[in-house]
């Protein structure tokens, strides 16, 4: 658990200086925008978009897992950028700080993805467990919401980001995977059939489709 920092009140002049620094940009913005008031709305929307993308992660899905009177939660998190293991650990703390105010659990599993299309498959960036002893299986040994008795257990991966799939490759892989799961066949040639289907759909050589599928399999595993 992270230690709480003691609040030390700063001298009054520090707060006055901060307020002054905050007011100056606002005045400059008002002087610039006021004569062009009709154009101010798009600026506001763009600013909100930039602020949203600055966040290092997005919780895409959450699920309560109730079993044997024990409540656990799973969270699918898409990270932005190319985080290393240390950054993923810091994000894990932020995720738990966020969700524990709305969910009450005895253990939580955070699964990390670098793209939303991978959700539902093996998490390429690994997992973090928040629970008693950092163990998902020991959830029943603590009371729901007793977060002071919980710690992190890590199964995170240091990725070689040069091997990450491009947006186009993700799109092709997702199409291939969707068709493959829909077929749900034990036919020995099913993968080749799906590959030919995607090859025709996107006008890509079948060998290139196979290479993209293989690339994603390696990316998810290593």
pLDDT at 10: 43
pLDDT at 40 over 50: no
Position 4 in a domain: no
Same domain, 157 and 61: yes
Q: In which domain, by residue range, is 142 found?
A: 57-161
Same domain, 143 and 178: no
- Mean pLDDT for 121-146 is 97
Percent of the chain exceeding pLDDT 70 equals 76
Boundary-marking domain end, from 128, 145, 161: 161
- Mean pLDDT for 71-86 is 98
pLDDT at 186: 80
Same domain, 140 and 173: no
Position 109 in a domain: yes
Position 31 in a domain: no
Same domain, 128 and 71: yes
pLDDT at 161: 98
pLDDT at 42 over 60: no
Same domain, 91 and 170: no
**Residue found by looking up tokens 């467990």 in the block:** 129
The alpha carbon dihedral of 47, 49, 52, 55 has a sign of negative
104 Cα distance to chain centroid: 21
**Residue found by looking up tokens 């399999």 in the block:** 217
Position 6 in a domain: no
96 neighbors 116 (Cβ within 8 angstroms): no
Give the integer Cα–Cα distance in Å for 103 and 52. Answer: 23
Tell me the DSSP string of 171-214: HHHHHHHHHHHHH----TTHHHHHHHHHHHHHT--HHHHHHHHH
Tell me whether residue 186 is exposed, middle or buried, using C-beta atoms within 10 angstroms of its C-beta: 0 to 12, 13 to 18, 19 or more: exposed
Residue 120: CA atoms inside 13 Å, Cβ hemisphere, count?
6
206 forms beta bridges with none
Same domain, 73 and 138: yes
Same domain, 104 and 63: yes
Boundary-marking domain end, from 134, 161, 188: 161
Report how many domains make up the chain: 2
Helical spans, DSSP H, in 54-126: 85-99
Position 14 in a domain: no
pLDDT at 43 over 80: no
Give the integer Cα–Cα distance in Å for 194 and 200. Answer: 10
Boundary-marking domain end, from 111, 143, 161: 161
Same domain, 75 and 140: yes
């Amino acid at each position: 658990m992270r230690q709480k920092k003691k609040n030390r009140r700063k001298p009054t002049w520090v707060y006055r200086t901060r307020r002054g620094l905050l007011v100056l940009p606002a005045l400059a913005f008002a002087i610039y925008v006021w004569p062009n008031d009709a154009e101010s709305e798009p600026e506001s929307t763009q600013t909100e978009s930039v602020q949203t993308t600055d966040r290092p992660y997005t919780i895409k899905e959450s699920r309560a897992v109730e079993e044997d009177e024990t409540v656990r939660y799973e969270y699918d998190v898409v990270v932005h950028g190319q985080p290393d293991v240390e950054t993923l650990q810091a994000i894990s703390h932020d995720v738990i700080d966020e969700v524990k105010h709305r969910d009450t659990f005895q253990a939580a599993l955070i699964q990390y993805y670098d793209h939303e299309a991978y959700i539902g498959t093996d998490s390429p960036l690994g997992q973090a467990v928040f629970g008693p002893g950092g163990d998902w299986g020991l959830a029943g040994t603590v009371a729901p919401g007793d977060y002071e008795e919980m710690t992190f257990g890590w199964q995170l991966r240091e990725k070689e980001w040069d091997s990450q799939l491009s947006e186009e490759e993700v799109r092709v892989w997702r199409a291939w995977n969707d068709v493959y799961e829909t077929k749900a066949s034990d036919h020995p040639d099913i993968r080749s059939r799906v590959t030919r289907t995607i090859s025709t759909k996107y006008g890509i050589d079948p060998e290139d489709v196979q290479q993209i599928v293989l690339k994603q399999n390696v990316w998810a595993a290593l």
